[in-house]
Structure 1
């Protein structure tokens, strides 16, 4: 039946119909696109090298002089931050970097009449010596030094505040 119906169609429709059949036949013979293999992941049990620090670092068995570059770098980092005139910020940064809080002293952030201190000092006792930092508007750039410790075991003269946090 189908052939008889096709026979009665105009020639142009027969050509279109033949083309459609030919194209339909081609779709079945077109090879499927090849898939590229997935990437291979290699897992190694060998640890990778740990990067070497490029700046100063804490030297627990070293002298105060050995630790001065690290101390000074930490002081400069806090000075360049938002809490540059907060003694607690310096103490907290030094503790986070590995210095012993129980060996520290810090002066008050405010004068006796409540004005901001013109300078703040903080220290870390290191054996018989002290790492001492001083910052504040009257100081200009931060100062970090090594000095002999005081006979009473402290580093700073005068009134200091209790580090109770």
Structure 2
């Protein structure tokens, strides 16, 4: 009678133990990896070169400031508004609502087309953000000033004929 686990019995029956199959497979994988790694051509590391002549660094191309598009859409004037507001933020990071309105009017927009939320809360604290809008030819150019940056988008006019919902400041 042949006992299970007897090595000779397993060989006689033509079966290879699972543990031996795993070891053989691992050995084949390692051998193939070693053979394939020898097929890769060695690469040389680039060596720094020294030069006695100096090369001039490229001159930065001046950026052209966007301009207001007279008679243009809200989308066409969006880059200009972002530019104007970014300049305001750089000189007055804690601007008031009226400063935003005055800046946009000075940039060529009609005061009657503007809406701006208050820079202060009802309890007198500084608002986290100030929203503004410009009604341009049936579209709303919407903006938000928060954390020293301006974000803009273009949206539809509300059923009220305005762009912003809620309390806005008087711009008169």
Query: Match for residue 125 of structure 1?
Result: 135
In angstroms, what is the RMSD of aligned CA positions?
A: 1.6
SS of 2:149's partner is coil
Q: Does 1:67 align with 2:77?
A: yes
Residue 147 of structure 1, CA deviation: 1.1
Any residues of structure 2 matched to 1:1-165 within 5 Å, and which? 54-137=64-147, 141-164=149-172
Greater Cα radius of gyration, structure 1 or 2 = 1
Query: Can you give the 5+ residue segments of structure 1 that lack an aligned partner in the other structure?
Result: 1-52
> Any gaps of 5 or more consecutive residues in structure 2?
1-62
TM-score normalised to structure 2 length: 0.60
Structure 2 Cα separation of the partners of residues 54 and 121 of structure 1: 27
TM-score by structure 1 length?
0.62
* Contact 2:97/2:169 (8 A) holds in 1: no
Q: Determine if contact 2:74/2:136 at 8 Å carries over to the other structure.
A: yes
1:80 aligned counterpart, secondary structure? helix
